Amino acid sequence: MIKTSAGRKAAMLAAAISASVAGAAPAAAIAQDGFPQPGRQLRIIVPFTAGGSSDVQARMLADRLSRLWGQPVVVENKPGAGGHLGGRYVADQPADGYTLMVGSIGLHAAYGVYGKLAYDPARDLRVVTVLAEMPHVVVATPSLAASNLAELTALAKKAPGTVNFGSAGVGSSVHMMGELYKLQAGAPIVHVPYRGSSAALNDLLGGQIQLMFENPPTVLSHIRGGKLKALAVTGSQRLPALPDVPTAAESGLKDYVATSWTTVAVSSKVPEAIVKKLNDDIRKVVATPEFRKGLQEQGMSAVANSLPEAQSFVAREKQRWDRVIAEGHISAQ
């Protein structure tokens, strides 16, 4: 009986220790992970001016991550050089994962327009995930004598150099979509770069330029309000937010199918464990119905892929846009 009692006590003690260890395991994992540390502020850098698509997504993400982590996540805009001032800034930040960036085609796939940069985006930035993707909307001033892409192409060919389009800067997704149209349609339209989409959009609304190949979030309200007219969308399907606007393929340009996309990126110096933690948590946020609905209302589709998937995707897109840059002889110099 004594042995049995002792054995029972030992068993109970072992079970208690086991349960204690098991219960402590998640806490230990959190302690070892230690990211993000309670009370420490995180930043999301938007390398473009406020009000654009990247800015909208960054603020949505900051709000949801702040709720998930229970600590502040703020958005800072650092525009310039087609987004590369912000990209360089993030690349130079400490390797702690507390400075994130919402990246774009221009930062990750179309930087070949710059002969030489002060940093190497492929080497110095790490893509955590592709956040979302979206077609672009070809929008024009109401006075432009074209109501679809076929009429736009005819107008541009009839009077070369008289139709101009604005963009967020050389190499930006807004610019590259216009250059792809020029190549596909053979339309001699003129590019006018701005320091961010907001500045270009202001001039479009004011009639200083006639055309933009813009992200849906920044132009939907102006289309609905009659201040701009939509000629086409660049995706393979019509936008639910603009069901009456045809795709470029429906308008006769069957090969003009392209979407832009955004990433969440950090300095390449950030340790793998923190990058993985960021990927996991961002995917949790994006998987929520609330976040997905918010994207859909802006004409965007959620992606939030894994680390390997994100890197493969960006590599393929880099090859694609390098071809456009070469064929269009595009340069920021």
Contact 308, 167 (CB under 8 A): no
Check pLDDT > 60 for residue 197. yes
Check pLDDT > 80 for residue 315. yes
What's the topology of domain 135-233? Answer: D-Maltodextrin-Binding Protein; domain 2 (3.40.190)
- The pLDDT score that the predictor gives to residue 297 is 85
Alpha carbons 216 and 137: distance in angstroms, whole number: 6
| pLDDT, mean of residues 281-296 | 95
On the 0-12 / 13-18 / 19+ scale of CB atoms within 10 A, 232 is: buried
Backbone angles phi, psi at 211, to 5 degrees: -150, 150
Considering the four listed CATH numbers 3.40.640.10, 3.40.190.150, 3.30.200.20, 3.40.50.1860, the one that applies to the domain covering 42-133+262-328 is 3.40.190.150
Nearest Cα to 238, choosing from 142, 230, 222? Answer: 230
Alpha carbons 45 and 86: distance in angstroms, whole number: 7
- The pLDDT score that the predictor gives to residue 36 is 95
Domain positions in the chain: 42-133+262-328, 135-233
**Per the confidence metrics, is the pTM higher than 0.85?**
no
Question: What value, to the nearest 5°, has the Cα angle with vertex 185 and ends 182 and 191?
Answer: 20
**Could you tell me the end-to-end alpha-carbon distance of the chain, in angstroms, rounded to an integer?**
91
Cis-peptide into 216, omega within 30 deg: no
Give percent of the chain with pLDDT exceeding 90.
Answer: 77
| pLDDT, mean of residues 123-152 | 96
Alpha carbons 117 and 120: distance in angstroms, whole number: 7
Lowest mean pLDDT among 51-55, 129-133, 141-145: 51-55
Contact 227, 86 (CB under 8 A): no
| pLDDT, mean of residues 193-199 | 86
Contact 128, 61 (CB under 8 A): no
- The pLDDT score that the predictor gives to residue 33 is 60
Question: What value, to the nearest 5°, has the Cα angle with vertex 80 and ends 76 and 81?
Answer: 140
3-state secondary structure of 35: coil
Q: What is the largest CA-CA distance in the chain?
A: 105
Nearest Cα to 181, choosing from 227, 137, 239, 132? Answer: 137
| DSSP H or E stretch at residue 203 | helix 197-206
| Residue 320 CB partners (closer than 8 Å, separation 6+) | 109
Say which amino acid occupies 257: V
3-state secondary structure of 42: strand
Token output for 212: 């933009």
Lowest mean pLDDT among 7-11, 31-35, 171-175, 208-212: 7-11
Nearest Cα to 129, choosing from 53, 57, 180? Answer: 57
Answer yes or no: same fold for 42-133+262-328 and 135-233: yes
